[in-house]
Amino acid sequence: MHIETRLPKVGTTIFSVMSQLALEHKAVNLGQGFPDFEPPEALREAVTRAMQEGHNQYAPGIGVAKLREQIARKTERSYGRRVSADTEITVTSGATEAIFAAIAATVRSGDEVIVFDPAYDCYEPAINLQDARAVHIPLTLPDFSVDWQRVRDAITPKTRMIIVNTPHNPSGAIFGADDLDALADVVRDTGIVVLSDEVYEHIVYDGALHQSVLRYPELAARSFVVSSFGKTWHCTGWKVGYCVAPKPLSAEFRKVHQYLTFCTFSPAQFAFAEVLERMPDHAEELPAFYQAKRDRFRTLLADSRLQLTDVPGGYFQLVDYSEISDSDDINFSEWLVREGGVAGIPLTPFYETPPTARLLRLCFAKNDATMQAGAERLCAL
């Protein structure tokens, strides 16, 4: 039977490809972005307790009320914005589901969606499935900043959405207040919706402030803001996230969400509600926790032939490998797994038109032994 694919450019995600290669070659996996240490003990105890107490059936589609209430409190505490737990917060099965639901809820056939390259790989397939078009604007190297004049020039009557991501994956770049001012200026007096991917919101360094669109009333009024418990609480495999959006956008978002997953893993929702109440300072402690890992990883790589880019946020280190090889990043990544014993993530899959830079993404959300083992192999290249 012939099937005409809806996603002709899509194969297996690069994260799965590199993780599988790492397994096959017993390589140190610094590729896919998951911690190799456990979530807090209090969280693990809470989810076990939730299961033992019988919270094992369907949760409310929009999320457990206690959890939504805690998210509302956290949002006000972190960003000074008071939101309704009933009408503006929806718990989702991971951030990827939230991103898809936001796009599917508002993007129509023939619309255009602006994305910034390198762009996380789930954005464009979701856009294409709406019979819409992704308009790619490359971030400016070497600091991966946005050329806002180029954004203004890209706006057309078909522009329906702009997707922003800060802290940025894969570069670690973060928005400043001037970026949010520029974004607000671009969308003012238009019908453009903003989708703000903020899954690394609590992982920013050197005293920087995370510039959430929720800090800006003008932007918050037209934005979907997506967050991830998996990133914040070191449990990516649980796939629990949420979306904050004003009531009219949330209403449309929930129409899609209810037919994607209907609801999200119940015991985890009760567990997160408990730890958000018991451990309100956890998010505030993350910058120091991950900055120590960032600095340790950079020290371990100091004697390598890799050139390290700055890392203002997130838990990835980009490295320039041009002193080691002139191969393109996909071939180099495969060679590095087979011959060097380390798995990283090439950047070209996140570009429509890749630059000539020789860059690889390495994850330092790892325990010290993993970072040490990976660095020793990288320094031997």
Q: Is the pLDDT of residue 3 over 90?
A: no
Q: Residue 249 pLDDT more than 90?
A: yes
Percent of the chain whose pLDDT exceeds 90: 92
Judge whether 14-39+282-379 and 41-278 match in fold. no
**Crossing angle, helix 266-278 and helix 65-79, to 10 degrees?**
40
| pLDDT at site 15 | 83
Where is pLDDT greater, at 168 or 25? 168
Contacts 24+ apart (CB under 8 A), 22-25: 22/337, 22/343, 25/337, 25/338, 25/341
What pTM value is reported for the model?
Answer: 0.96
pLDDT of residue 193: 98
CA distances from 155 to 152, 188, 219 (A): 5, 12, 17
Whether residue 364 is predicted with pLDDT greater than 90 in this model: the reply is yes
* Type of residue found at 107: V
Sign, CA torsion 279/281/287/288: negative
Fold of 41-278: Aspartate Aminotransferase; domain 2 (3.40.640)
Antiparallel, parallel or unpaired: β 316-320 and 359-363? antiparallel
| pLDDT tens, residue by residue, 184-201 | 999 999 999 999 999 999
Task: Please tell me the predicted confidence (pLDDT) of residue 10.
Answer: 83
- The set of residues, in sequence order, having a beta carbon less than 8 Å from that of 128 and lying 6+ positions away, is 6, 7, 134
Structurally, what CATH architecture does the domain formed by 14-39+282-379 represent? Alpha-Beta Complex (3.90)
Pair of tokens at residue 331: 């071939």
Q: Where are the domains of the chain?
A: 14-39+282-379, 41-278
> From residue 109, how far is each of 132, 249, 347 by CA, in Å?
5, 18, 29
Q: Which tens digit of pLDDT belongs to each residue from 132-153?
A: 999 999 999 999 999 999 999 9
- H helical segments located in 83-236: 95-106, 123-128, 148-154, 177-187, 217-220, 229-232
- Write the secondary structure of 208-223 as one string of H (helix), E (strand) and C (coil): CCCCCHHHCHHHHCCE
pLDDT tens digits, 293-336: 999 999 999 999 999 999 999 999 999 999 999 999 999 999 99
Q: What are phi and psi of 33, to 5 degrees?
A: -85, 75
Query: How high is the pLDDT of residue 42?
Result: 98
